[in-house]
Amino acid sequence: MREDGEIAKPAILFLCLGNICRSPLAEGAARAAFARAGIDAKLDSAGTGDWHVGHAPDRRAQAEARRRGIDIPALRARQLSPDDFYDFDLILAADETNLRDARAIRPAGATADLMLMLDLLPGRKGQGVTDPYYGKDDGFASTWDDVEAIASALVAEFSAKG
């Protein structure tokens, strides 16, 4: 809550390795879920690596999102920056490697909470969202199921706060 008593607009960053599979799927799912709930939120995604900066999400991620009624081809990969730890309230890492890499660049005095995406789901604490990049196309459906559940959990949390 802000000092004026208004509920602060949630600011959430989804984080994976290259920002072309898991985190843009999570961003897309969250954008849709927050919009359906009528909650104004700042939502973005980033990667810990720089290999895909400026690229659209993986074509298979785009296809899976489109299959679920979500359009993500306009998203562009970017790399996590120290400023993100001040610009967002919550940074959700896809797996332990991303979490570790984010902790390594987290500035002293950073204000963002940092945790695993699946920590939001009962019985999934400490687990990582499976990276479908090197697998078969059907792996993207499983990843979507996870990020959609994460988006629903976030909406439930912020609906309760509002």
Q: Is 131 a catalytic residue?
A: yes
Catalytic residue (choose from 58, 101, 131, 146): 131
Catalytic residue (choose from 16, 31, 58, 84): 16
Q: Is 21 a catalytic residue?
A: no
> What's the CA gap between 20 and 28, in Å, rounded?
12
Catalytic residue (choose from 22, 31, 60, 78): 22
Is residue 45 within 8 A of residue 80, CB to CB? The reply is no
Please list the alpha-helical segments (H only) found in 5-138.
22-37, 59-67, 84-87, 96-105
Q: What is the largest CA-CA distance in the chain?
A: 50
> What's the CA gap between 121 and 153, in Å, rounded?
7
Q: Is 22 a catalytic residue?
A: yes
> Any idea which residues carry the catalytic annotation?
16, 22, 131
